[in-house]
Structure 1
């Protein structure tokens, strides 16, 4: 352990430096991390980092999924639920099926069950990679919402395939009606358990005298509880975390104070950043061990690379086919929606670029590493190292090739053409929200505190503060009563914005940013004038 710890610390430092460099180069940091991990893996004498396959899901997946669910817009998910559902479930199943058939045909001794193991591993695109890449380019808000929503659910569907395929490989049989019942239990049991545990933790936050540090600690352990308990009763731990995370995210204003939300956001951002960085480095670091395993079983490296390239092409083709199929289905069955959602000049490019956003990453690696070393009967798991190698090739090729070329494709196809109008609508909506918020607060103060003396200096200052949107230089007017009035106003603003969020005209991201600004202002008041 004393030799491994310095190595891990160096890896963390490397993650920070490579991310800074990636931002300067305006490329996605997962690309540099994978290549760096691959490069340093060939340095002799480095310690080997081994993670128990049974723990890989528990360590990495729960917090990554929970943070993603916390940040996604549930309103946007409901708006685009058809396309999100089709990509998260139908496209994943279609991709896994194609991978299973092709791998069974081209790889000697590779059964259909093993094909579905591989398909379940490589079928879900990685949200972290896509988000890191699209950060440097402009894409339509609707497309961003679809990609975010898909990334939450496709992990669950792919891992369900992966789990059933592992059972089929281990037992040598697959009983459809039992699998169907198990699927329903995993689906509804996972969602129900996630909501239940989420409600329990919300109750703890509300009824215990927690402080920001304890609030943040509770949020850190919440996804682990959801995942672990769900897996113990054979539900979907992924769905439990996603459902619980979405539920708690929409209730965050009711059980977390502004200080807890502000500090918690920073802690979670750093925590998830380190987890993602370590996983992408592990992708490259594990390659030499995987290659040695392949050679030990007599598979030439060039042949294994060929398998990986073919499977990667299958993944890209399956997503492209699915994207264009979704577009044609929308045109045929919902022509009015197709006309409203996209400009005709972008309609044909959107499926192409949606298909090109299928970079693989964290979940695929975690699933591959989670393949058991042996079957239930004690035999070595067949083709485990080959599956790991193909997964690595798929991650590497999609990250590097698709990741580096996606911004170029977006520019060449003018995918962002017409987004100036979207920006204008966004700015107008933002102005309308702020004006409505100002008017609402001014009327709230006048109505609620009309019994206050009109000669009261504090009341005059408060009304002027909100009417003129200026900051008072002299803080001597602030006392216990006026401070409480301001805190009441902040609470009323959040209530107003939460109600406003139900209106389709207002983007939830815009609402959240405004609430964040209110939290900052409340924190400033409490820091300057005290909490009591």
Structure 2
């Protein structure tokens, strides 16, 4: 009988997971067609689907988020982050990831006293800690889509990587005050924060270093990719076991990988790893955002004694408060960052404009970490009494996520364009110079080889042919930079190159269909053509 129940449970889980994947694929494709960031579409879709009669409730288990979704998502986000930019902007990042979190927690705690009858300042600290962290994907995916300036995007990425740890620490302290009746001193809280930070970062770097040593003895794509998939979980669990921040451990591990993976991954493994991680990132983020929307029935289940008008007023008022707190903080926070960066770190940065700061302030989308933190709240206090504010905290958190994702997410692209921060049309001078130096280095090497093999006619012909190819790339690169001279030369080159690749690909498929080559050879040829297509698209 127990085996039958287990079998039915597994079948039900498989069905739910399969349906969720179909939702992610379908609405992800819709988001791409509508040119809307897919987190927004998936959340809205989840909310709409939750109204379907007879649909089973999808109750979000916080452990699924913290133990299954969060480590790989943070790891991949950190892996894709530029260490140079993260390090250079660390003051601005911490001003948001720590300063803004503290400001939000205190602001929510004070405002809750007058907004909600069930709340005390202690309960407000818990709620503020839950809604303080921003989502690691939503704002930056929208910012990149509309071409927000690089510095702002780097700061937003860094903030979303670090503020989860700050928010969860604040939540831990808030729960100790509310549930245990113990208020830690400033010294105790500071020491705990230092340990979580230092030990978390140290654990993440140590795990990454061990993986790097293991990579020296591996030369197998599937094994190396599997190892990279396991790495964030190892970093997270080891850090949690020693009482450190698992979030910071994963972030530190991901930053280390992003900095050093080019040294221990071969080109083949790197191509495979990028594809695997990109697909995994999409699926996990899709699951997170769909599950947010599907939580609406669960969120409303414990609020029957509230009227619809009261709930709407609470949701809109609290969401406006959270948005306003961020907008208020970014201006003095930016000025303080500017002073520190100029006087302490000697960085010759200019104070951001008021419009730029407003954009940064408007990108405070919340995500699944906040909802999981709210749903992880215990139902009973330490003395056995009901945690009366729990259902309202979950509702307010869900409302804030929905409002910030939909309102700010939809309005951010036109707002960026309206304020003139769309930078897609500007050339990347750093990329152009890097490409020029790479080609120049290759030409210098070929010239040196030509001198050494002057007595070898075959090698000389080959080297001269390769030099002509590199010189052609250099000419195209110069034409691309000099838009006044030949504005369409590079575009025409890419168009013609793609046309040639299409002809080669269709020819190879025709040869397979005629039985002149087999499928294995076709896949090998397709792989070569796909690599060439990737190089052309990247130029």
Pick the TM interval, shorter chain: 0.7 to 0.9
Q: Is the 8 A contact 2:299 2:395 kept in 1?
A: yes
- From 379, 398, 409, the equivalent of 2:404 is 398
Question: How far off is 1:466 after superposition?
Answer: 4.1
- The 1-side partners of 2:159 and 2:468 are apart by 43
1:119 correspondence with 2:128: yes
Question: How far off is 1:331 after superposition?
Answer: 6.7
Q: Is the 8 A contact 2:450 2:463 kept in 1?
A: no
1:315 correspondence with 2:322: yes
SS of the residue 1:423 aligns to: coil
Counterpart for residue 287 of structure 1: 296
Q: Is the 8 A contact 1:30 1:280 kept in 2?
A: yes
Counterpart for residue 423 of structure 1: 426
Q: 1:102 to 1:459 in 2, by over 3 A?
A: farther
Counterpart for residue 215 of structure 1: 224
- The 1-side partners of 2:238 and 2:103 are apart by 30
1:258 correspondence with 2:271: no
Structure 2 length-normalised TM = 0.80
Matches within 5 A, 1:7-46: 7-46=16-55
- The 2-side partners of 1:245 and 1:38 are apart by 32
Counterpart for residue 434 of structure 2: 433
- The 2-side partners of 1:449 and 1:195 are apart by 44
- The 2-side partners of 1:114 and 1:402 are apart by 27
- The 2-side partners of 1:136 and 1:446 are apart by 42
Counterpart for residue 489 of structure 1: none
- From 334, 354, 362, the equivalent of 2:368 is 362
Gaps of 5+ in 2: 1-9, 473-526, 533-539
Question: How far off is 1:328 after superposition?
Answer: 3.9
SS of the residue 2:95 aligns to: helix
Q: Is the 8 A contact 1:100 1:113 kept in 2?
A: yes
Q: 1:106 to 1:340 in 2, by over 3 A?
A: closer
Question: How far off is 1:190 after superposition?
Answer: 0.6
Q: CA RMSD in A?
A: 2.8
Q: Is the 8 A contact 1:304 1:386 kept in 2?
A: no
- From 170, 181, 204, the equivalent of 1:194 is 204
Counterpart for residue 188 of structure 2: 178
Q: 1:10 to 1:330 in 2, by over 3 A?
A: closer
Structure 1 length-normalised TM = 0.81
Question: How far off is 1:334 after superposition?
Answer: 7.0
- The 1-side partners of 2:238 and 2:79 are apart by 20
Question: How far off is 1:467 after superposition?
Answer: 4.4
- The 2-side partners of 1:228 and 1:373 are apart by 26
Counterpart for residue 306 of structure 2: 299
- From 93, 106, 114, the equivalent of 2:115 is 106
- The 1-side partners of 2:277 and 2:153 are apart by 22
SS of the residue 2:377 aligns to: coil
Question: How far off is 1:323 after superposition?
Answer: 1.5
Counterpart for residue 234 of structure 1: 243
- The 1-side partners of 2:158 and 2:165 are apart by 12
- The 1-side partners of 2:63 and 2:337 are apart by 42
- The 2-side partners of 1:214 and 1:374 are apart by 45
Mean Cα deviation higher: 395-404 or 450-459:
450-459
Q: Is the 8 A contact 1:89 1:157 kept in 2?
A: yes
Q: Is the 8 A contact 1:7 1:47 kept in 2?
A: no
Q: 1:289 to 1:51 in 2, by over 3 A?
A: closer
Matches within 5 A, 1:51-70: 51-70=60-79
Mean Cα deviation higher: 46-55 or 14-23:
46-55
SS of the residue 1:136 aligns to: helix
- From 96, 104, 107, the equivalent of 1:87 is 96
1:389 correspondence with 2:389: no
Counterpart for residue 149 of structure 1: 158
Q: 1:311 to 1:454 in 2, by over 3 A?
A: farther
Question: How far off is 1:233 after superposition?
Answer: 1.7
Q: Is the 8 A contact 1:66 1:245 kept in 2?
A: yes
Question: How far off is 1:338 after superposition?
Answer: 10
Q: Is the 8 A contact 1:120 1:158 kept in 2?
A: yes
1:224 correspondence with 2:233: yes
Q: 1:456 to 1:66 in 2, by over 3 A?
A: farther
How many equivalent residue pairs? 467
Q: Is the 8 A contact 1:56 1:369 kept in 2?
A: no
- The 1-side partners of 2:341 and 2:190 are apart by 31
Q: 1:329 to 1:20 in 2, by over 3 A?
A: same
- From 127, 133, 137, the equivalent of 2:142 is 133
1:204 correspondence with 2:214: yes
Deviations 1:165-210 (CA, angstroms, capped at 9, x unpaired): 1222221111213322221111111111111111111111112x34
Counterpart for residue 178 of structure 2: 169
Q: 1:411 to 1:370 in 2, by over 3 A?
A: same
